[in-house]
Structure 1
Amino acid sequence: MATTELQADNFEATISEPIVLVDFWAAWCGPCRGFAPVFEEASEKHPDIVFAKVDTEANRELSAALGIMSIPTLMAFRDGILLHSQAGALPPQALEQLIEGLRAVDMDDVRREMEAQNQAAEASR
């Protein structure tokens, strides 16, 4: 499966998919170029996952809104919820471990915890 190019106009719709990995990169970035084939190979091995890329040079506002401070940065979403964000290029084994971990997350537990946090925040106001 090829990677999907993300921009501000398709970001929200794309991350609402069941599992989405987003690589924030730039053409001038050596580590980004090194990570690109690892990311592409993983996209071929996991066709049920959306693998997406954001060119930080072409999408400065989106990158800033998401707090991207260094590249490459990899973000992982499940059902539109950010579960992982990490700067730095991952080796293939670490990317596979991340994918396994994402698949194993109980999203009902995540939603319950988020709801409890929201209720606690509202109660403290």
Structure 2
Amino acid sequence: MGSVWWVVCEVATRVGARNIRPAGRVVRAASPHVRTHPGRRHREEVTRMSSTVELTKENFDQTVLDNDFVLIDFWATWCGPCRQFAPVYEQAAEENPDLVFGKVDTEAQPELAAAFGIQSIPTLMIVRDRVAVFAQPGALPESALTDVIGQARELDMDEVRKSIEEQQAAPDGQ
């Protein structure tokens, strides 16, 4: 499957495509803009956009905490490539009803975009068990998105967590 790209993605953590390193370095940066909300939110409180969930600073943390596998599309209405990617992302959401497909409108949610260091849109991020296992800017074609979802499904998260622990235990942090 090639090298695994991951970073720790805990609640109130900033993750951006520029910060991702091939398996070997954990990047963590706390963000004051994304806060944990006490209590459990009911899934009905999350706004649905067709087969996708509208993610906001109010529901982002709980969505990631409550779900083992979340795909996140950072987008904006004025973005041409975002509009081209939207039907591909929507189709993937319909074909994978067991996964959560979220969308962050970077214009309406600048705090989330800033917290994750989003500098280019669209950016796709995949979070499994609160670990970002994929983040990449650019509109993916259908076949590439299907492949990325398949690779993320096949990841052994115990191995990923073990690798994270080893990296955190390394004396120089690398």
Q: What TM-score bracket applies, with the shorter chain setting the length?
A: over 0.9
* 1:24-78 CA distance string (max 9 Å, x none): 0000001100100000000000001100000000011110110100100000010
* SS of corresponding position for 1:114: helix
2:72 is matched with 22
- The residue type paired with residue 98 of structure 1 is V
Q: Deviations over 1:78-120 (max 9, x none)?
A: 0111011000000000000001001100000000011111111
Secondary structure of the corresponding residue to residue 59 of structure 2: helix
Matched with 2:125 is: 75
Query: How far apart in 1 are the matches of 2:86 and 2:147?
Result: 17
CA distance in 1, matches of 2:120, 2:64: 21
Q: Which residue of 2 aligns with 1:12?
A: 61
DSSP-derived class of the 2:153 partner = helix
Q: TM-score, normalised by structure 1?
A: 0.94
Unaligned runs of 5+ in 2: 1-49
Matched, 1:95 2:129: no
1:82 aligned counterpart, secondary structure: strand
> Per the alignment, in what secondary structure is the counterpart of residue 167 of structure 2?
helix
Q: Name segments (4+ residues, structure 1) moved above 2 Å.
A: none
What SS does structure 2 have at the residue aligned with 1:37? helix
1:18 Cα deviation from its structure 2 partner:
1.3
Output aligned runs, 1:1-125, within 5 Å: 2-16=51-65, 17-120=67-170, 123-124=171-172
Can you give the 5+ residue segments of structure 1 that lack an aligned partner in the other structure? none
SS, match of residue 83 in structure 1:
strand
C-alpha distance in structure 1 between counterparts of 2:159 and 2:61, whole Å: 22
| In 2, Cα distance between equivalents of 1:15 and 1:104 | 19
Inter-partner Cα distance in structure 2 for 1:3 and 1:51: 5
Matched to 2:56, the amino acid is Q
Larger helix fraction of residues = 1
3-state DSSP of counterpart to 1:9: coil
- Tell me how many residue pairs correspond in the alignment: 123
